């Protein structure tokens, strides 16, 4: 089929090419190059072996090799001796772009001129990572979701504790780490998690990491082999998708409703043999990201029961549930688990500040030793000096009082944003908000282009995230805007939301 396609176009190229002065390899190169740019040859397609294509086209093998080499030198294809030649992903705005970068799409010709990245150099998984990049290039400013008000972190207290730790640290605090984390930090954390989050754990079950990403990567390595199946929420956190895909597991999205993850259909399919039992099911039950649902107790029980019977693992991402306004925070899913099938991930990014890059993992007792070894092999352990400061910060009560203080601050800002939305739009657009966390999701009418709205708001200086960008399954996509209020001064919220509202009005 490819041969027919090339033959037709080779003939056409010969006709176009004036007196046929172009050598055959060059014509072949141009035909393939155009096919790659035009999209007729998709990224990842394997080209026929040079010997085969030469025979089928009735030209010499060296001619084909030369054309392939030219394509390879320019980054249109990749491959090596014996490993086959594959069409590279040559769409440059996908490499630097993302749903959030809001770069305008260039025409193929402009793409070609603007192609500055050597696409053929990156691996397929490297390209998948950068093509689907979720991390934005701006991480501070209204209404960037998920960012706490770092300006209110008690740096003076932190500085004092830090100086104390630096005064006469034992060499072990400065050297290579041994074990799953600094013991006093694990003790302080276990006690906090038991009381505040209903997590059933001992310090021995805690592993201290560089954040949720590292927690999930370690889980994927330790519990899943490449090609094994993982279910995740759709829409969901882009970081979960990126980390899991890079780790080679097969990510299957599952839809989300007001009770959280809808896994019933997937479960039936595993029972009828239509799909394999997953190794992991990754959920954010306390505050679904980004839609905000709190998983119902019925759904929690179903999930735990399925995990128990199918012997798969549930990964609970509890990233910001400390900030629950009005009622007491729901206890963790882990606390309901009688069968030891839940791995609980937490982070200091939301409750303290993201630049700490510190998170933690609670694993079932019998996994702790293996995870500790894996941590040392993959990351060479942690930052015990920093962990010692954190241990004191928690043990001396600063952690809990900071959370308590910020809960009031964020509650006011949330109300302020909800008021701004209502005063501008009334009840025209549903707001998805369960009074938890640092962000809210504003739904927009089906069919409207939330990417364009987000871009327009950004042009006027306000960051938002288009809801559609959080979906893996295109058929589930719903437009909307995810708005973070945590780090925005309440007095500025109405004006910033007016900017967003103008962008919405222009696009509806």
| Footprint (CB under 8 A) of a copy of itself, residues 66-105 | 80-83, 95-96
Query: How remote is the C-alpha of 164 from its chain's centroid?
Result: 37
| 265 binds a copy of itself per the rule CB under 8 A | no
In angstroms, the CA 161 to CA 46 distance is 58
Interacting span for a copy of itself (CB under 8 A) from 18-26, 114-122, 198-206, 425-433 = 114-122
| 403 binds a copy of itself per the rule CB under 8 A | no
Q: Smallest gap, in angstroms, from Cβ of residue 382 to a copy of itself? A: 7
Binding to a copy of itself (CB under 8 A) within 207-246 occurs at 210-214, 217, 221-226, 228, 238-239, 242-243, 246
Q: Smallest gap, in angstroms, from Cβ of residue 339 to a copy of itself? A: 12
Q: Smallest gap, in angstroms, from Cβ of residue 173 to a copy of itself? A: 6
Q: φ and ψ at 313, to 5 degrees?
A: -110, 145
| 143 binds a copy of itself per the rule CB under 8 A | no
> Roughly what angle, to the nearest 10 degrees, separates helices 61-73 and 50-57?
120
Binding to a copy of itself (CB under 8 A) within 417-476 occurs at none
Q: Smallest gap, in angstroms, from Cβ of residue 371 to a copy of itself? A: 9
In angstroms, the CA 34 to CA 369 distance is 55
- Considering beta carbons, is residue 210 or 425 the nearer one to a copy of itself? 210
Binding to a copy of itself (CB under 8 A) within 476-495 occurs at 487
First to last CA, the chain: 45
Binding to a copy of itself (CB under 8 A) within 9-38 occurs at none
- Considering beta carbons, is residue 148 or 451 the nearer one to a copy of itself? 148
Side by side, the strands of the sheet bearing 280-283 are 206-209, 359-362, 342-347, 313-317, 280-283, 229-234, 250-257, 260-261
Return the half-sphere exposure (C-beta side, CA atoms, 13 A cut-off) of residue 387.
30
- In angstroms, the Cα distances linking 137 to 103, 141, 228 are 12, 12, 32
For the chain, give the number of residues.
Answer: 508
| 269 binds a copy of itself per the rule CB under 8 A | no
- Considering beta carbons, is residue 84 or 445 the nearer one to a copy of itself? 84
Q: Smallest gap, in angstroms, from Cβ of residue 9 to a copy of itself? A: 28
Of 446, 440, 448, the residue nearest 476 (C-alpha): 446
| 250 binds a copy of itself per the rule CB under 8 A | no
In angstroms, the CA 265 to CA 231 distance is 12
| 116 binds a copy of itself per the rule CB under 8 A | yes
Helix (H) or strand (E) holding 359: strand 359-362
> Roughly what angle, to the nearest 10 degrees, separates helices 212-223 and 238-246?
40
Query: How remote is the C-alpha of 18 from its chain's centroid?
Result: 51
| 277 binds a copy of itself per the rule CB under 8 A | yes
Q: Smallest gap, in angstroms, from Cβ of residue 430 to a copy of itself? A: 28
| 118 binds a copy of itself per the rule CB under 8 A | yes
- Contact status, residue 294 vs residue 436, Cβ threshold 8 Å: yes
Of 27, 21, 29, the residue nearest 73 (C-alpha): 29
Q: φ and ψ at 403, to 5 degrees?
A: -60, -45
Binding to a copy of itself (CB under 8 A) within 330-389 occurs at 349, 353-357, 366-367, 369-370, 373-374, 376-386
- Contact status, residue 208 vs residue 214, Cβ threshold 8 Å: no
Total residues interacting with a copy of itself, rule: CB under 8 A? 97
- Considering beta carbons, is residue 110 or 172 the nearer one to a copy of itself? 172
Binding to a copy of itself (CB under 8 A) within 144-183 occurs at 147, 150-151, 153, 155, 158-159, 162-163, 166-167, 169, 171-179
Contacts of 418 (CB under 8 A, 6+ apart): 431, 433, 440
Q: Smallest gap, in angstroms, from Cβ of residue 491 to a copy of itself? A: 17
- Considering beta carbons, is residue 57 or 96 the nearer one to a copy of itself? 96
Binding to a copy of itself (CB under 8 A) within 283-312 occurs at 310-311
In angstroms, the CA 258 to CA 298 distance is 12
Q: Smallest gap, in angstroms, from Cβ of residue 59 to a copy of itself? A: 23
| 117 binds a copy of itself per the rule CB under 8 A | yes
Show the tokens assigned to 174. Answer: 């400065």
Interacting span for a copy of itself (CB under 8 A) from 115-123, 401-409, 422-430, 489-497 = 115-123
- Contact status, residue 416 vs residue 494, Cβ threshold 8 Å: yes
| 113 binds a copy of itself per the rule CB under 8 A | no
Show the tokens assigned to 168. Answer: 């006469």
| 139 binds a copy of itself per the rule CB under 8 A | yes
| 124 binds a copy of itself per the rule CB under 8 A | yes
Q: Smallest gap, in angstroms, from Cβ of residue 155 to a copy of itself? A: 5
């Amino acid at each position: 089929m490819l041969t027919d396609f090339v033959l037709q176009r080779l003939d056409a190229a010969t006709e176009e090419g004036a007196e046929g002065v172009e050598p055959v390899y060059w014509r072949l190169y141009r035909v393939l190059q155009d096919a790659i740019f035009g999209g007729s040859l998709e990224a990842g397609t394997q080209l026929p072996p040079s010997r085969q294509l030469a025979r089928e086209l009735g030209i010499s093998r060296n001619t084909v090799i030369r054309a392939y080499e030219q394509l390879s030198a320019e980054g249109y294809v990749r491959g090596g001796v014996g490993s086959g030649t594959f069409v590279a992903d040559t769409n440059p705005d996908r490499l630097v772009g993302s749903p959030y970068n809001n770069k305008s799409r260039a025409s193929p010709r402009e793409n070609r001129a603007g192609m500055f990245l050597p696409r053929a150099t990156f691996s397929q998984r490297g390209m998948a990572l950068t093509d689907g990049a979720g991390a934005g290039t701006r991480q501070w400013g209204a209404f960037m979701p998920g960012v706490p008000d770092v300006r209110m972190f008690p740096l003076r207290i932190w500085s004092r504790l830090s100086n104390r730790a630096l005064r006469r640290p034992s060499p072990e605090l400065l050297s290579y780490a041994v074990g799953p984390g600094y013991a006093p930090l694990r003790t302080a954390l276990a006690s906090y998690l038991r009381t505040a989050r209903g997590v059933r754990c001992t310090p021995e079950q805690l592993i201290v990491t560089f954040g949720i990403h590292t927690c999930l990567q370690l889980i994927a390595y330790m519990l899943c082999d490449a090609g094994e199946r993982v279910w995740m929420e759709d829409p969901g956190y882009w970081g979960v998708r990126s980390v899991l895909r890079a780790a080679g597991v097969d990510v299957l999205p599952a839809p989300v409703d007001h009770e959280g993850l809808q896994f019933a259909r997937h479960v039936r399919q595993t029972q009828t043999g239509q799909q394999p039992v997953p190794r992991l099911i990754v959920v954010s039950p306390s505050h679904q990201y980004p839609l905000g649902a709190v998983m119902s107790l019925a759904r929690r029980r179903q999930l735990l029961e399925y995990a128990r019977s199918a012997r798969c693992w549930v990964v609970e991402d509890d990233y910001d549930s400390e900030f629950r306004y009005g009622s007491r925070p729901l206890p963790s899913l882990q606390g309901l688990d009688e069968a030891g099938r839940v791995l609980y991930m937490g982070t200091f990014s939301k409750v303290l500040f993201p630049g700490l890059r510190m998170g933690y993992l609670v694993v079932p007792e019998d996994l702790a030793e293996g995870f500790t070894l894996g941590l040392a092999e993959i990351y060479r352990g942690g930052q015990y000096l920093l962990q010692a400061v954190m241990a004191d910060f928690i043990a001396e009560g600063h952690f809990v009082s900071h959370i308590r203080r910020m809960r009031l601050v964020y509650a006011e800002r949330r109300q302020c944003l909800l008021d701004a939305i209502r005063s501008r739009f009334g009840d025209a657009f549903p707001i998805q908000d369960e009074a938890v966390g640092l962000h809210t999701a504003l739904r927009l009418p089906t069919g409207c282009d939330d990417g364009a709205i987000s871009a327009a708001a950004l042009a006027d200086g306000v960051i938002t995230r288009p809801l559609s960008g959080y979906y893996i399954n295109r058929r589930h996509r719903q437009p909307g805007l995810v708005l973070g209020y945590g780090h925005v001064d309440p007095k500025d919220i109405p004006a910033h939301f007016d900017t967003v509202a103008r962008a919405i009005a222009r696009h509806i």
